[in-house]
């Protein structure tokens, strides 16, 4: 298969590109800095420059003749949400996706499938299970960004492209992401449940994010929203305890919501409230999770076996 990937230099993208190569697929990456992308992903990679995804269409020649596109680029969410950061979080996704679809419209022959990253931030916060049929939240920053981001991706369907929007949860990966933030505290013995700990963490191991992206690329019956979270959701307290066990460190020091708000501002709300996301579509389609259980997934993500 010939696959074009945006955001390929990020946490998910690097793992995806490695697996596409391993299964013999031909990869073209689109990056704001093609030279740097080659350095990160290996000199042999085909890298096309897409200098400003917010302002210009994706280069059609890097998309034409490819079988599929995986669109991952986006300004990182894990930062303090200043007004400028919020603008970049929104525009990189919404305008970036609109400009990808403009590139697809000009690509001849056109790829048959677009797997366009999305997120669980669209779901109501709380303990109620949310599968793909749950009503999206409206009027909140992140949920509105995700809805607009998916809306732009779905426009590719009007071009005859099969569109899948994987609503990905909190990714457990050896580098970066949620664990990157939590590990230093837990290793120092000062980690613990956050904001009471009863809220759900819609976790998923990086291996399953990659597995699900490939599954969505390959399976003709995958289309629309697909939740990419583990089939065994855990509460924040369960995750803290499991991480404490994996690291051989107690995880008993509670982190108050206020402390989180002081550090992360509005972004903290996501962690404080949580969502109980259920991967119904993946289960219906017969996807086999590689790391469905929390503790082995944490062992693998922290390099402690599993």
Question: Binding residues for ligand NAP, per CB under 6 A?
Answer: 7, 9-13, 31-33, 37, 53, 72-77, 88, 92, 96, 117, 119, 168, 170-171, 177
Going by C-alpha positions, the residue among 97, 215, 232 that lies closest to residue 169 is 232
- Closer residue to ligand NAP in complex, CB, 144/189: 144
- Closer residue to ligand NAP in complex, CB, 189/271: 271
Token pair of 148 as six digits: 């607009």
- Closer residue to ligand NAP in complex, CB, 250/265: 265
**Shortest distance in whole angstroms from residue 250 CB to ligand NAP:** 26
**Shortest distance in whole angstroms from residue 80 CB to ligand NAP:** 15
Q: How far apart are CA 156 and CA 154, in angstroms?
A: 5
Query: How many Cα atoms occupy the beta-carbon half-sphere of 23 within 13 Å?
Result: 14
- Closer residue to ligand NAP in complex, CB, 53/244: 53
**Shortest distance in whole angstroms from residue 6 CB to ligand NAP:** 7
**Shortest distance in whole angstroms from residue 109 CB to ligand NAP:** 25
- Closer residue to ligand NAP in complex, CB, 51/184: 51
**Shortest distance in whole angstroms from residue 132 CB to ligand NAP:** 15
Report which residue's Cβ sits closest to ligand NAP.
10
Cβ pair 7, 53 in contact under 8 A: no
CB-based contacts of 215, cutoff 8 Å, min separation 6: 222, 282, 285, 287
Cβ pair 114, 166 in contact under 8 A: no
Cβ pair 212, 228 in contact under 8 A: yes
Token pair of 203 as six digits: 């976790």
Q: How far apart are CA 248 and CA 239, in angstroms?
A: 14
- Whose tokens are 């569109």? That residue is 163
- Closer residue to ligand NAP in complex, CB, 32/102: 32
**Shortest distance in whole angstroms from residue 299 CB to ligand NAP:** 19
């Amino acid at each position: 298969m010939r696959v074009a990937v945006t955001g390929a230099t990020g946490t998910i993208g690097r793992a995806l590109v490695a697996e596409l190569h391993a299964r013999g697929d031909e990869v073209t990456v689109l990056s704001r800095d093609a030279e740097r992308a080659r350095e990160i992903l290996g000199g042999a990679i085909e890298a096309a420059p897409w200098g400003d995804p917010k302002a210009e269409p994706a280069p059609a020649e890097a998309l034409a003749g490819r079988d599929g596109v995986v669109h991952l680029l986006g300004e990182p969410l894990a930062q303090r949400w200043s007004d400028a950061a919020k603008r970049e979080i929104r525009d990189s996704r919404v305008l970036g996706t609109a400009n990808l679809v403009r590139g697809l419209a000009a690509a001849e022959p056109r790829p048959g499938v677009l797997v366009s990253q999305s997120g669980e931030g669209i779901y109501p916060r709380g303990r109620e299970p949310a599968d793909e049929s749950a009503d999206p939240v409206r009027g909140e920053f992140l949920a509105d960004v995700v809805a607009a981001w998916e809306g732009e991706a779905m426009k590719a369907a009007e071009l005859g492209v099969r569109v899948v929007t994987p609503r990905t949860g909190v990714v457990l990966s050896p580098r970066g992401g949620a664990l990157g933030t939590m590990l230093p505290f837990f290793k120092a013995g000062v980690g613990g449940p956050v904001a009471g700990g009863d809220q759900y963490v819609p976790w998923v191991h990086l291996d399953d994010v990659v597995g699900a992206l490939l599954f969505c690329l390959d399976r003709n019956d995958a289309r629309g929203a697909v939740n990419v979270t583990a089939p065994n959701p855990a509460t924040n307290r369960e995750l803290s305890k499991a991480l404490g066990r994996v690291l051989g460190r107690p995880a008993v020091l509670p982190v108050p919501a206020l402390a989180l708000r002081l550090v992360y501002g509005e972004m903290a709300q996501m962690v404080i409230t949580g969502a109980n996301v259920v991967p119904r579509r993946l289960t219906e389609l017969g996807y086999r999770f590689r790391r469905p259980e929390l503790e082995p997934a944490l062992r693998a993500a922290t390099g402690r076996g599993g």
